Structure 1
Amino acid sequence: MKLYFMPGACSLAPHIALREAGLRFSLVEVDYRSKRTSDGRDFHEINPKGYVPALELNGGDLLTEVPVILTYIDEISGQKALLPRRGSDRLIALEWLNYIATEIHKSFSPLFRPRTPTAFLAPGRAHLSRRLDFVERHLQHREYLLGPGFSLPDIYLFTVFRWLDDQELSPTDWPALQRHSEAIAARQSVKDALEQESLAANFAHRRRMDHPRRHVRRRHGRIRSPGPD
């Protein structure tokens, strides 16, 4: 399998999951500005959507979208189950994957776009904060999103929570989320993925250095970044 990624982007979630599952795969980096791969190809010819992640399967098929790729990784992970196998527990796990994708991940997107009107930024951050408040309450008395057991939604949540410093929001405002993120960061699969993508391991050291796009622009007197798609 081959994972197309951008350092620090949402593709970090399937990267971690592949390592967690112990699966064999290769990585191909995609440049944000040129949309060319590290081996010189036009990424749009590989994935017409033009954004990561994209997972090329051994048979040549291409999977896109984080929840779909994560679910596929679980399906081929063998004995190392990264999602509940059946019943209501599995449905709850899929609910979390979709909540993170649609309510948290996508809440970052307009905040990162350089053409977003300045008047939208404060309401956008407030909207994102309310979505994080919901997860904060859920995690106050739980170690992981599904309770005592680590699962794929934890990886996805960790990935997007890392973007918080780029939005003038402090992780310390969500102590349960910060505790959760630190616990995920301590896993060997996460350490290895962060090292492979040349990303800092924690908020204190990362600040704006390993933002998903690594490209910043000054807009209205402050650093702005293109951010996640």
Structure 2
Amino acid sequence: MKLYYSAGTSALAAHIALVEAGFEPELFEVDIVTRTIDRTGDYLAINPKGYVPLVEIEDGVPLTETVAILDWIDQHTAGHEGAIGMERHRLIEMLAFLSVEVQKPFAFSFFLPGDEAVAMLRSMVEERFVLIAGQMSDRYLLGSRFSVADALLYVTLRWARMIEMPVPERLLAYIADVEARPAVQRALRDEGVMD
């Protein structure tokens, strides 16, 4: 199994989830500006979309898009029956919400010109964090068990911390809890993004 990533991007969620699931992915760092792999290979030859993450699974089959990758990992976690029925629908609902309503606007705010547009996008993300915190009734997003959705929320909260965005107290405690997990520590070390 191979994971194509850029340090600290949303690919970190896939990295964390893979390690949590017991996988030992071979890591390939992608320069997202030049779209090269470890500064030597043409990433576009592997992924014409040009962004990360990409996971090569069974027999080199490529899988892209964070939601699809995290769902695949959930369904293939050793010692864990993947979410089924309404539990799976709730997982995909949360993954889609995080991807579309939190990750994308946040990512755009890093690259769009104009202070007004950046402020609007970041305000939207802050509101989404308040909503998420208000809906959490247990240790993690979907209950007492760490899920692949938690990996994605954690990555976006790292971005918030990086720019000193205020987040609800509930999410500050959540960040500390998630960062204490061995799989998270390992993925952060592997990508060289320890705080």
- Counterpart residue number, 2:61: 61
Task: Report the structure number with the largest CA radius of gyration.
Answer: 1
Residue 187 (structure 2) aligned to one of 162, 187, 193:
193
Residue 176 (structure 1) aligned to one of 159, 166, 170:
170
Aligned residue pairs total 195
Counterpart AA for 2:95? L
Unaligned runs of 5+ in 2: none
d(CA) in 2 for partners of 1:57, 1:15: 13
Given that 1:28 and 1:39 are in contact with CA atoms closer than 8 Å, whether structure 2 keeps it comes out as no
Between stretches 125-134 and 189-198, larger displacement belongs to 125-134
Q: TM-score, normalised by structure 1?
A: 0.80
- Counterpart residue number, 2:85: 87
Q: Kindly indicate which of the two structures has a greater share of residues assigned to helix.
A: 2
RMSD: 1.5
Given that 2:22 and 2:78 are in contact with CA atoms closer than 8 Å, whether structure 1 keeps it comes out as no
Matched, 1:155 2:175: no
d(CA) in 2 for partners of 1:135, 1:37: 35
Counterpart AA for 1:184? V
d(CA) in 1 for partners of 2:122, 2:72: 32
d(CA) in 1 for partners of 2:33, 2:157: 24
Unaligned runs of 5+ in 1: 201-205, 207-229
Given that 1:4 and 1:27 are in contact with CA atoms closer than 8 Å, whether structure 2 keeps it comes out as yes
% identical aligned pairs: 33
- Counterpart residue number, 1:3: 3
SS at match of 2:104: helix
Counterpart AA for 1:89? E
Which 4+ residue blocks in structure 1 deviate beyond 4 angstroms? none
- Counterpart residue number, 1:51: 51
Matched, 1:126 2:123: yes
Q: TM-score, normalised by structure 2?
A: 0.93
SS at match of 1:163: helix
Given that 1:67 and 1:97 are in contact with CA atoms closer than 8 Å, whether structure 2 keeps it comes out as yes
Given that 1:125 and 1:167 are in contact with CA atoms closer than 8 Å, whether structure 2 keeps it comes out as no
